[in-house]
Structure 1
């Protein structure tokens, strides 16, 4: 096998080894590749970390207080009187659950970051190995080129002597 063919073979096998496919990349995995808990954490994080959630929460609070104020004014009876104790209880429960959900989402983000770091480390190691192989191949080719250059220089040095032909006897 020639050095060039060996180099091409080495590069192809290294590239196949480095790029196993994007679907296994930690930052790209989706759908069925994620556990139910991972999908739930991602959904909750995306839902609670949005402006829509803020607007819905503010709207819910406004509706709750408005309905109670209107009921208190028109009928004198409400399902949650002015200090809004029931609303306070609901908001406390939401805050407790939201804290836990945000911790779960943060844990999930840390897991993805850890997987990405591991993936990057493995890719770097494989790249280093491939670079070492290519460096060795390059050095071999450079050595061969140097030897061939020396041989060519020797042949070129002999060429003028051979072109002049044998010297005639008796000539000075």
Structure 2
């Protein structure tokens, strides 16, 4: 059992770990990849880059040596595939984030329960000290 830095009494009940570090250390390669993809696809850099890509595609396919004629069927196919993959990646990442939020809520609850027990113990000690002070005051009077 760990001791308090200010006293030699052991600490009781309160979780003393860095919860976020423990969770991130246990992430699988797939979890890390989903987070990186979610973070990159949800950025203005990605939106701007994708917008530039579509403009370049449209301009190049408007020239006489095009590979995808005007309604851009191939581009539509790629956009549909990208949307399907993005949806799956976002769902994977959201599912993991929900699990993290639930675990964090449980960690917070356990911390609050431990803190409540410590506060109740301090209140008990304070009441005992108050009774002792009253008894000393009565002896002095």
When residues 46 and 29 of structure 1 are mapped into structure 2, their CA distance, relative to the original with a 3 A threshold, is farther
Structure 2: distance between partners of 1:132 and 1:9? 20
Q: TM-score, normalised by structure 1?
A: 0.70
Structure 2: distance between partners of 1:59 and 1:91? 14
- Structure 1's consecutive aligned runs of 4 or more residues displaced over 4 angstroms after TM superposition are 28-31
The answer to whether the 8 Å contact 1:44/1:101 transfers is yes
- Any idea what SS the aligned residue of 1:18 has? coil
Bigger radius of gyration, 1 or 2? 1
Structure 1: distance between partners of 2:118 and 2:98? 30
The answer to whether the 8 Å contact 1:41/1:108 transfers is no
CA RMSD of aligned residues (A): 1.9
Does residue 16 of structure 2 align to residue 20 of structure 1? yes
The answer to whether the 8 Å contact 2:38/2:90 transfers is yes
How many residues align? The count is 135
- Gaps spanning 5+ residues in structure 2: where? 1-6
Q: TM-score, normalised by structure 2?
A: 0.84
Does residue 55 of structure 2 align to residue 62 of structure 1? yes
